[in-house]
Amino acid sequence: MKAFMDADFLLSNDTAKKLYHEYAAKVPVLDYHCHINPREIAEDRRFENITQVWLGGDHYKWRFMRSCGVEEYYITGAASDHDKFIKWAECLGKAIGNPLYHWSHLELQRYFGFYGALSAKNAEEVWELCNKKLAEPSMTARNIIKNSNVTLICTTDDPIDSLEWHKVIAEDKDFDVQVLPAWRPDKAMYIEKPDYAEYIGKLAKVSGVEITSFEDVKKALCIRMDYFASMGCSVSDHGLEYVYYAPATAEEVEAIFAKKMSGGEVSREEEFKFKTAFMIFVGGEYCRRNWVMQLHYGVKRDNNKVMFAKIGPDTGYDCTNNYAPSSQLADFLNAVNEATGLPKTIIYSLNPVDNQAIGTIIGAFQDSAAVGKIQQGSAWWFNDNKTGMIEQMTSLANLGNLSGFVGMLTDSRSFLSYTRHEYFRRILCNLIGGWVENGEFPEDYDILGEMVRNISYYNAVNYFGFNL
C-alpha cells in the first residue's frame, strides 16, 4: 500500500516519478486565468484565520458541505469563522474520491506543514496550527504568491473596471510578480439581463462615448480595450451558455439593441443574433490586437432560484449544460476567420462529452501563426479532477497535439490554489509515464522532459507572449 499523499502521490510508475520530480516540479507557475481580487494583492492582505483564506468564496467547498447536510448558517451564514472551519473539517473526512480532498491536503502540506489527514478528530489542532502559520510574514497574499513560484497572474476584469489596483501593483517595484488584467465583457453582451441598459450607461460614462446604437457600443468597447492594453492586457475571457451562431444583418442587430434600450424584452432568437454579432466583433478585435480569446461554455447558472434570491450568484448552484451544438461553434470560428482572421483561441466546455467535438473543431482551424493556435482548454470547474484531466488530455492527445497544450490554470478565488498546478502536473506525468511504460512512446527524456516542462509552463509563456 502506498503512503498517504507522499512525495510520489499520483505517480504510479518510475517514468512518471522521474518526469515529475526532475522536470515538471522545477518550473514556475503561470496562472493565466483566475478570479483573485487584485486589491488584495495590492494591499498585501493578511488573513486572520484559515477560514478566510480557505472557505471565503469557495463554492466548491460550499456545495460539498451542503451535500453533507450542513446548515447554510455554517456555509455562507453568520456562523463564526471557527465554527465554519470545524464544519468543513467534519465534511472533508467524508470526501473520498473528491478532488477537494486532494486539493485541501496539498494546501495543508505545502503552506502549513501539516501532513496528516484533516477530519473532525483533529480539527481544533489544525485550526490552531494554520492560524499560527498565517500570522507569519510569509503568509501575506503577496508572499504566498511569491513562495508558490508564481511569475504571472491574469485576473478577470469587466470593461468598466478602473484597473486602479493593477496600477498600484505595477508601480510597486518591490513585488516582481506580474498581475495583469484580463478582459471579461460578458455584461456588455448579456442583452437579456434586466439591468443591461443600466450597464450600458456605465460603459458610456467610463468610455466617454454617448451610446445610442450597437455601433456606439463597439466604439466604447474599443476605447476600453485600448485602456486595458495600456495596462498590459492581452487576454480575453467569455462566459457563455454555449457558442452562438445566429447571423443577422447589421440593421437587425441595431433594431434588437434599440428595442432593449427602450425598455422592450428581446426574444431568445433576438438574443442569439445579438450575441453572435457581439462575439464576431470582439473576435475580430482580438485578432487585430493579437489578444487571446478564451471561450468558457456549457454551464447553466443559478438553478436554485430560492437560494439565488437569498445569497446571489457564484455560490454553488450551477450545473453542466448538455446543449452545446458543435456545429455553431465551428460556424462561429469560421465567421470570425472569414471576416478578420481568428485570434489565438482557447475553448473550454463544462461538459466532458464535448471533448472530442472540440478536438476535431480545433484541428480544422490550426495554422502556422502559432503552435496550437486554437487550443482545447484544461479540464474546467466540475471536470477539474483526476478523471476529468485524464479524459481531457487523452482526448487532446488522440485528436491533436498534447505537446503544444498550454496547460493548467487555477480559475480560483483563493491564494492557496496554486497547488492545483502541482496536482495537474502529477496527473500529466503519470499519464505520459504510463504510455512510456506500456511501450507506446520511447523513454527519451530529452523529448519527454522538455514536453512536460513546456506543458507545465513554457507553452503558456510563448502562447500568450508574456514578457517573463
pLDDT, one tens digit per residue, over 30-61 is 999 999 999 999 999 999 999 999 998 899 99
Q: Cell 485576473, residue?
A: 155
Please compute the mean of the pLDDT values over residues 100-110 and round it to a whole number. 98
pTM score, two decimals? 0.97
Q: How confident is the model at residue 371 (pLDDT cuts 50, 70, 90)?
A: confident
| Whole-number Å distance between alpha carbons of 193 and 252 | 19
pLDDT at 57: 87
**Do residues 381 and 60 touch, judged by C-beta distance below 8 A?**
no
pLDDT at 344: 97
Backbone angles phi, psi at 347, to 5 degrees: -115, 125
| Whole-number Å distance between alpha carbons of 466 and 468 | 6
CA dihedral for 142, 144, 147, 150, sign (positive or negative): negative
Residue 125 has pLDDT above 90, yes or no: yes
Please compute the mean of the pLDDT values over residues 256-265 and round it to a whole number. 97
Helix (H, G, I), strand (E, B) or coil at 214: helix
**Do residues 19 and 448 touch, judged by C-beta distance below 8 A?**
yes
Count other C-beta atoms under 10 Å from residue 466's C-beta.
Answer: 18
Which amino acid is located at 359 in the chain? Answer: G
Work out the end-to-end distance of the chain between its first and last CA atoms, rounded to an integer number of angstroms: 42
Residue 15 has pLDDT above 80, yes or no: yes
pLDDT at 317: 96
CA dihedral for 47, 53, 56, 62, sign (positive or negative): negative
Please compute the mean of the pLDDT values over residues 344-364 and round it to a whole number. 97
| Whole-number Å distance between alpha carbons of 41 and 209 | 32
Question: Could you report the per-residue pLDDT of 293-314, keeping only the tens digit for each?
Answer: 999 999 999 999 999 999 999 9
Helix (H, G, I), strand (E, B) or coil at 238: strand
Is 219 exposed, middle or buried (CB count within 10 Å of its CB: 0-12, 13-18, 19+)? middle
Q: How confident is the model at residue 361 (pLDDT cuts 50, 70, 90)?
A: very high
Q: How confident is the model at residue 183 (pLDDT cuts 50, 70, 90)?
A: very high
Q: Cell 445569497, residue?
A: 311
CA dihedral for 423, 428, 433, 434, sign (positive or negative): positive
pLDDT at 398: 98
**Do residues 429 and 11 touch, judged by C-beta distance below 8 A?**
yes
CB within 8 Å of 19: residues ≥ 6 apart: 429, 432, 433, 445, 448, 449, 452
- Strand pairing class (319-320; 299-300): antiparallel
Per-position DSSP letters for 115-169, written without gaps between them:
-S--SGGGHHHHHHHHHHHHTSGGGSHHHHHHHTTEEEEE--B-TT---HHHHHH
Residue 379 has pLDDT above 80, yes or no: yes
Write out the E strands in 192-247.
235-240
Please compute the mean of the pLDDT values over residues 128-136 and round it to a whole number. 98
Mean pLDDT of the chain: 97
CB within 8 Å of 305: residues ≥ 6 apart: none
**Do residues 279 and 244 touch, judged by C-beta distance below 8 A?**
yes
**Do residues 347 and 374 touch, judged by C-beta distance below 8 A?**
yes
Write out the E strands in 119-196.
150-154, 178-180
Write out the E strands in 34-182.
150-154, 178-180
Q: Cell 468564496, residue?
A: 57
Query: Residue 345's beta-bridge partner residues?
Result: 293, 374
Q: How confident is the model at residue 368 (pLDDT cuts 50, 70, 90)?
A: confident
CB within 8 Å of 85: residues ≥ 6 apart: 49, 50, 51, 54, 55, 123, 127
CB within 8 Å of 376: residues ≥ 6 apart: 346, 347, 348, 355, 358, 359, 362, 392, 395, 396, 400, 405
| Whole-number Å distance between alpha carbons of 45 and 129 | 19
Q: How confident is the model at residue 383 (pLDDT cuts 50, 70, 90)?
A: very high
pLDDT at 369: 75
| Whole-number Å distance between alpha carbons of 37 and 331 | 35
Helix (H, G, I), strand (E, B) or coil at 448: helix
